Amino acid sequence: MVYYFSKTIQDSFENTVQKVKAGLTQEGFGVLTEIDVQATLKNKLNKEFRNYIILGACNPPFAFKALQSERMIGTMLPCNVIVQEGKNGGTEIAAIDPAASMQAVENESLAKIALEVRDKLRRVVEQL
């Protein structure tokens, strides 16, 4: 089962991060967390790593619906979107497929919410 969707574009890492954030905003998401994996691995382990950022994206109306629908769903929030240096140049963007990750919960109302969120995240990735 594929649990994410992705796209590689020919743009700089920094520009791509800004484009992803703008796309998320356009779809009603805010970025709650931003983890710079490269800096974290350098600081904590003194290891070199490629440019890699994890954005914790949240769409408040959908998060509220999900929290009302499933008591423990906060364990799966926010939706992660990554931006990383591509293997063969360019910059890769990937987002979690909430519909795939929510299948384990077996809650029909949550599944409907996840499909709507998936459509929004997919648009962010595809429009880059």
Alpha-carbon gap, residue 11 to 8, rounded angstroms: 9
Evaluate the omega torsion of the peptide bond into residue 78 and state whether it is cis, within 30 degrees of 0.
yes
> What is the SS3 assignment for 78?
coil
pLDDT digits (tens, 9 = 90+) for 62-114: 999 999 999 999 999 999 999 999 988 899 999 999 999 888 898 999 999 99
What integer pLDDT is reported at residue 124 of this predicted model? 97
pLDDT for the residue 121: 98
Q: Find the domain containing 34 and state its range.
A: 4-126
Q: Is the pTM of this model over 0.85?
A: yes
Where residue 48 sits, what CATH number does that domain have? 3.30.310.70
If one counts the domains in the chain, the total is: 1
**Collapsing DSSP states into helix, strand and coil, what is residue 128?**
coil
pLDDT tens, residue by residue, 43-53: 999 999 999 99
CA angle, residues 7, 75, 42, in degrees to nearest 5 = 60
Residue 85 is which amino acid? E
Residue with tokens 């497929």: 97
Q: Which one, of 66, 71, 72, 58, lies nearest residue 121 by Cα?
A: 58
**Residue-wise pLDDT tens digits, 5-42:** 999 999 999 999 999 999 999 999 999 999 999 999 99
Task: Indicate if the alpha-carbon torsion angle 104, 105, 106, 109 is positive or negative.
Answer: negative
